[in-house]
Structure 1
Amino acid sequence: MSEPVVRHFRQILIWPLQLMPLGHGQMGRHWELMHAAVQKPGSPWEARSTEFDCPPEEFQERHYREFVTFLPYVQRFLYGEGTTEAADAASWGRSPLHVFRRTDIKTVRMTYKDGCRWDFRVAHIDLYFFFDIDVAILAFEIMADDMPLRRAQDAMFRLGRAFPAQWDEEEHASNCPTLVEWLDQHGQVLCESDYQDRRAFLAHVGEFRSTRMAAHWDHLLHPLVPHHSDEEGAIRYRQLEYHRMPLMAYLSFDDPFALRDEDFYRLGMVTKPGDGDALPYSPKVFDDFERQCCYDRFWVPERRHPATSTRMMCNGHAFVLVGMHGNAFFSDPRTGALGQFRHQHFLLTMVAHFHKASLLLLRDRLAVAMSQLNIRNEISVRFFKREIRQCLEGFLRFNQRYWFREVSNQVLTDQLFQMLRRHLDTESLYVDVRDSVQGMNQYLENDDLRRQADTVVRLTVVTILGMIGTTVTGFLGMNLFDYASQPGAVKFGIFMLAFLPITLLTFLTVVRSRQLSEFLDGMADQRLRWPAKLLLLGRVFGRLRR
């Protein structure tokens, strides 16, 4: 049996990254630094204009279909609002998304384990920043034509790896390509991978307690630099999730019905190609896969009809679309599944991964703040309170601006989004983060109330005992003693004789206010006998202990 050929192949890597705070406490302003960076001569990045920046009469139907797919609040998230309705252009602008496109990389050359090379054309490389959230998402789309299924499976399995997980006995990076090269429009190599440099990866973890990004990904993201490195850069990032980047894949075949269950499983679960004809999986594995990961609304292999030849698979890590190459419903780049894959499906997948990345970011900041708390250090306590309040503010902004459980009333789009949310488990993650933020904020409020109550007790004790001094000074002011005719020095001396003891008594009262409050409570308690009340008085002055 001949190996199936993928007539058209597309792969979109969606890589969420955590951006480190800029220092002034405000989240989600890294795009301003990126705007300044792209203005420098020689920058490979440029700010990408949206479809809505064109004159209204030039607005295309494809963009219109994409826009109306989503519900109004999702439209505001993805596209912003009209200039006549935007209340604050400085904070909201025309869109909360700020997108930058890299234009110098035109080809990705991938060298497989057996030495074979394959060149993939680059469709686009976009970097998304989000207003008010310290998250960036890299979207990297490549494509190729007429490639064996085995090569497509290998590209899906190996390409999107930020760093190797391990090395084999020959010190070759396991599950990574032998070599990945970025080529410019003239075919010149701009950068290549260094997966095989085992010592560099090990030394980096030993020094920074953080994994090192492969050289070609580090080069692609510049001017962003890894946070745990010696590189200079204002925008610093670090890995947020698994080292394998989430992806989307589109594969068109002359006859998708010829694919075996094993082929669909390897595509949907993004595993490496099989080594033989024998099925390595049990029937139960395929049953679970079809029930949980396959969306077969347009897949009826028994009919062998082009209208029922499209299959969608989603496991959270990957969204894979398989169909018939000659079928316009599937392969038309404007009105077919290919157009929806690159636009509507890409956007809903990016939204789902953005939700998860944002929640992981907030959970990480809470964990870091808690790990740095030292309750015996007042500076550490103040820092902890400030960090928790900033996390609460960030969560509230995320909750009101970006969090939604539905994106569309269209059945296909809504059901695919629900599949993504279920596999990514964002709902339970949202509940965990919400409960953690609210719990820590409740702790801060309780601590503030405790401090306020303690302050009220101290002031109450000072006021009660201050009544003695007030009475004494008032008594002295009743002209029982004629000091009016005394010289000024005598008057000052008499004033100091009254001022110093009262001041000393006030400070002593503040210092012993907690014990004094207990003494006053004891005096008011009629059940206590006088010896017990005297013991409380002795405790005030430190002479007796309970």
Structure 2
Amino acid sequence: MPLGNGGNPQPHWKLLAQGGEDNPWRRLEDRFQAGKLDFEERHYKEFVTFLPYVQRFIYGESHSHVAYDADDPLGESAIKIFRRRGVSALRLELREGDTPVTLTVEHIELWFFDDINVAFLKVELSVDDLPFYVACDLLYRFGRAYPTGWDSDGHGKHNAHRAEWLSSDGTVLAVSDSANQEKFLSYTRRHRSPGICAHWDFLLRPLVLDPSEEAGNLRYRQIEYHRMPLMAFLAVDNPRSVSREDWLRLGMVATLHPDEALPTHDPDVTEFESRYCYDRFWTDTEAGPNTRFFCTGRAFIIVGDAHADYFHDRKRGILAQFRHQYVLLFMITHFHRASLLVFSDRMVDAVHDLDIHTPQSISRFRRRIYAGFEAFLRFTHRYWFHELSERSHVQALYRMCSEHLGNDVLYQDVKEELRDMSQYLDSNAQRQQSTTIVRLTVVTTFSMVGTVATGLLGMNLLAEAEAPISTRLTYFFITTLITALLMLLAILKSKQLSDAMDVLADDQKSLRTRLSTLGKVWKRSLH
């Protein structure tokens, strides 16, 4: 949520960086500038994957010994990343009575973006040796901010039964509370907004939900659905033995409940391969490669052979690409969508607060729309692009993800909404200018009387050239006062005078009719 009430408040990430010793978030150093950080081949391959304008967005501008302007500073990366300390593992009990699964926390990060009030929580987890159905159930149930309802036993639907964040020594730091029906019902009733599960709330501290009464400068609200976007890297023993139904359940894991019967007549099922599969690296032969990509917009999943060294190589293999290139690809598409939703939300709020009968409300609305339009222009020229990479498979996956999220349609909708509001403000300003011009014209017309009257003084109608200065000043001030009163009266009655002029100028009516109509108009104006 925006900081401050005006002026030039500091960015959110700077406020988070000012935290004390109890602040678990620390900003990551720029790998391109910090000499003590390693820069390996995987970082290089990540960088060269993207086109130059995408590189400027992600990594900042390149350094040069020759600058166009000495006062022009080099642009930093538009992404500011903070990493959380103190959380080492996640213990999940997917269903009541199931054996808990413990996952290693690789990274927990907050990503902020310049010019846009958007932040991403990025949680990276890993685990080995899971049965296929458990992996699918885990992917389906984890990553939900709040329950969408409760079953007959009072457990949150679709959520993991219990989630616990653990410290390095095994201490439980936070526990999920999706079964606390009263908490979510009362929060939604009081704030007209869904709450958030306790374990996610703990993870995001010191950020607090905006509608809540809790104190905190860094406040947020979830911009869209409760189901967090999902990326998954799965190494299976034999990808060729996976049945089509299992491929379907895995590829549609964000929307298809593991216990639900497969909807065989659903277009997502019948056209699954053409809609959501990218099989450039799938040969279905012993020689391989046997790597499949699934992209539904909400989920991005890579499945490959666990026995192929190249697949799970952390430095040069598909796993290295997954953790570097593909995560950025997925992030950019969701950043586009989140930013557009923020712009749309701002416009809806501005229109909701508009009262056309209050000049202050109209002025505030104008300022908000112009500020939104300016921010949208910066977003368009800095962040919005259709070409991400010259590598065909990266570009194809980027286009697939963006299309499934509907980013192009959403962009056009937001652009049209901004254009409509801008045109409304322009037409309103033109209408006010036209009204002002008409009134000035009327005043000027009727001021001709005063001009002629004062001109008569210059014709020596009153021979007071030799009169004492006090007499001449008296005549001057009397004439000025009468002229000013006439002009003030003309301004006050400018609309009525304009209507009267329109009536008199209507040559399609007789003079008698025009005079009669003029009398009615004038009588109506007096009342």
Q: Specify the alignment match of 2:235 in structure 1.
A: 252
- Three-state SS of the structure 2 residue aligned to 1:313 is strand
Q: Give the secondary-structure state (helix, strand or coil) at the position aligned to 2:129.
A: strand
Give the Å deviation of 1:507.
1.8
**Are positions 1:99 and 2:78 aligned together?**
no
Name the Cα RMSD after superposition: 2.7
Cα contact 1:69–1:408 (8 A) shared by 2: yes
Q: Is the 8 A contact 2:79 2:113 kept in 1?
A: yes
2:296 equivalent in structure 1:
315
Instruction: Single out whichever of 350-359 and 368-377 deviates more from structure 2.
Output: 368-377
Find the partner of 2:110 among 127, 133, 138.
Answer: 127
Q: Kindly state the Cα deviation for residue 514 of structure 1 after the two structures are TM-superposed.
A: 2.5
The alpha-carbon deviation at position 171 of structure 1 amounts to 1.6
Q: 2:244 aligns with which of 257, 261, 267?
A: 261
Q: 2:133 & 2:69 partners in 1: Cα distance?
A: 53
Spell out, residue by residue over 1:21-46, the C-alpha distance to the aligned partner (whole angstroms, 9 max, x if none): 54327699222222223xx1221000
8 Å CA contact retained: 2:147, 2:178: yes
Note the C-alpha offset of 1:387: 1.0
**1:284-342 CA deviation, whole Å, 9 max, x = no partner?**
754311120011111132x233x231111010110011010121231111111111111
Counterpart for residue 387 of structure 2: 406
- Which of 21, 25, 50 is 1:41 aligned to? 21
> 2:149 — aligned with what?
166
Q: 1:296: which partner in 2? A: 279
Aligned equivalents of 1:336 and 1:329: distance in 2? 5
- For normalisation by structure 2, the TM-score amounts to 0.92
Letter matched to residue 209 of structure 1:
R
Residues 348-385 of structure 1 show CA distances to partners (whole Å, capped at 9, x for unaligned) of 00000000000111011111111111111111111111
Q: 2:507 aligns with which of 507, 511, 526?
A: 526
Q: In the aligned structure 2, how far is the partner of 1:233 from the partner of 1:127?
A: 17
Q: Classify the secondary structure of the residue corresponding to 2:193.
A: coil
The residue number in structure 2 matching 1:11 is none
**In structure 2, the residue corresponding to 1:369 is in which secondary structure?**
helix
**Which deviates further from its counterpart, 150-159 or 244-253?**
150-159
**Residue ranges of structure 2 left out of the alignment (5+ in a row):** none
Matches within 5 A, 1:362-401: 362-401=343-382
Quote the residue 1:12 is aligned against: none
Query: What are the superposed Cα offsets for residues 470-516 of structure 1, whole Å, 9 maximum, x if unpaired?
Result: 22122134433245676777666645543443223212211222232
Query: Equivalents in 2 of 1:326, 1:511: separation in Å?
Result: 89
Between stretches 484-493 and 375-384, larger displacement belongs to 484-493
Post-superposition shift, 1:239?
A: 1.1
Select 2:498's aligned residue among 492, 517, 521. 517
The corresponding residue for 2:41 is: 61
Q: In structure 1, what residue type is equivalent to 2:251?
A: G
TM-score by length of structure 1 reads: 0.89
2:103–2:126 contact (8 Å) kept in structure 1: yes
- The alpha carbon displacement at 1:282 in A equals 5.4
Q: Partners in 1 of 2:37 and 2:376 — Cα distance? A: 39
For the structure 1 residues 81 and 339, does the alpha-carbon distance in structure 2 shift closer, same or farther, using more than 3 Å as the test? same
Q: Please give the alpha-carbon distance, in whole angstroms, between the structure 1 residues aligned to 2:29 and 2:47.
A: 16
1:227 match: 210
Show the counterpart of 2:13.
Answer: 31
Question: 2:191 matched to 1:211?
Answer: no
When residues 28 and 178 of structure 1 are mapped into structure 2, their CA distance, relative to the original with a 3 A threshold, is farther
Worse-superposed segment, 55-64 or 385-394 = 55-64
Aligned AA (2:239) = P
> Against the structure 1 CA distance between its residues 198 and 450, is the aligned structure 2 distance closer, same or farther, given a 3 Å change threshold?
same
Matched to 1:365, the amino acid is R
* Residue 91 (structure 2) pairs with residue 109 (structure 1): yes
Identity over aligned pairs, percent? 41
1:21/1:134 contact within 8 Å kept: no
Distance 1:62 1:203, change over 3 A: same
C-alpha distance after superposition, 1:55-91 (max 9, x if no partner)? 3995322111111100111011110112436979998
Q: Give me the whole-angstrom Cα distance separating, in 2, the residues matched to 1:186 and 1:41.
A: 20
Residue 498 of structure 1 aligns with which residue?
A: 479
Show the counterpart of 2:163. Answer: 180
| Aligned-partner SS, 1:53 | coil
Q: How does 1:435-454 map to 2 (within 5 A)?
A: 435-454=416-435
The 1:468/1:328 distance shift into structure 2, 3 A limit, reads: same
Q: Is structure 2 residue 192 aligned with structure 1 residue 189?
A: no
**Secondary structure in structure 2 of the residue aligned to 1:459:** helix
User: Is residue 427 of structure 1 aligned with residue 413 of structure 2?
Assistant: no
Q: Is the 8 A contact 2:294 2:302 kept in 1?
A: yes
Kept in 2: contact 1:110–1:119 (CA 8 A)? yes
Unpaired runs of 5+ residues, structure 1, are 1-18
Instruction: Kindly state the Cα deviation for residue 218 of structure 1 after the two structures are TM-superposed.
Output: 1.4
Structure-2 separation of matches of 1:88 and 1:517? 58
Whether 1:243 and 2:243 are equivalent positions in the alignment is no
Q: Comparing 115-124 with 530-539, which one deviates more in the overlay?
A: 530-539
- Amino acid of the structure 2 residue aligned with 1:50: D
Q: Looking at both structures, which has the greater relative contact order when contacts are Cα pairs under 8 Å and sequence separation is at least 6?
A: 1
**Rounded Cα–Cα distance in structure 2 between residues aligned with 1:272 and 1:462:** 72
